Amino acid sequence: MPDVTITIGGRNFPVACQEGEEAFLKAAAQMLDTEAAVVMGQIGRLPAERMLLMAGLLLADKTLAKTDQLDAAETKIKAMEETLAKAEDLLRKSQAKIAELEAAKPPAEVAVIPAQVVDGLAELAARAEALAERIEEPPAPEAKTNQAKPEKSTADQAPEDASDGD
């Protein structure tokens, strides 16, 4: 069992430890020495037992604070895991619904009309509108000087004459 000398608050202490634990012991002693320096800075020189007690209490206080932080973080992680599980469940349900909808109904086919046909239809529509406007326009007023009805031309009478002969 190796013996290690550690320094806390400017005082040396011989300590025995298990083989391979020397680095851990030195790290722990360094933490205690840091707290002992705080105690000595605030109170001044103390007996070794009192200095070690105060440094240990400060270190324990910091450890409890870190434990509280760890507990809070674990609670937060648990809540996040639950939220994630709910989101994953919702995603699975949504994917199943999408697959169901895709399987139930064939995709709709959308007819694509070539640009030439669209242009041709637009031109025909414009012509139809122009013809409709010409038909709907009232006739121009005739001159008042010629009040008599115009006589039918011979071309207009020809079909009537032809039907009379039968």
3-state SS of the chain: helix, strand, coil percent to 5?
A: 65, 5, 25
With respect to residue 55, please indicate whether it lies within any of the assigned structural domains: yes
With respect to residue 96, please indicate whether it lies within any of the assigned structural domains: no
Lowest mean pLDDT among 32-36, 49-53, 155-159: 155-159
| Three-state secondary-structure class, residue 147 | coil
Lowest mean pLDDT among 21-30, 75-84, 95-104: 95-104
User: Which residue did the predictor score with more confidence, 151 or 70?
Assistant: 70
- Mean pLDDT across 71-90: 96
Whether residue 113 is predicted with pLDDT greater than 90 in this model: the reply is: no
The string of DSSP letters for 130-141 reads HHHHHHHSPPPP
What's the confidence (pLDDT) of residue 59? 92
What's the confidence (pLDDT) of residue 163? 46
With respect to residue 70, please indicate whether it lies within any of the assigned structural domains: yes
With respect to residue 159, please indicate whether it lies within any of the assigned structural domains: no
- Mean pLDDT across 12-28: 92
Domain residues for the domain of 41 are: 3-74
Give the pLDDT band (50/70/90) at residue 162. very low
Q: pLDDT averaged over the chain?
A: 84
With respect to residue 95, please indicate whether it lies within any of the assigned structural domains: no
Give the pLDDT band (50/70/90) at residue 103. confident
With respect to residue 79, please indicate whether it lies within any of the assigned structural domains: no
Q: How far is CA 71 from the centre of its chain?
A: 30
Number of domains in the chain: 1
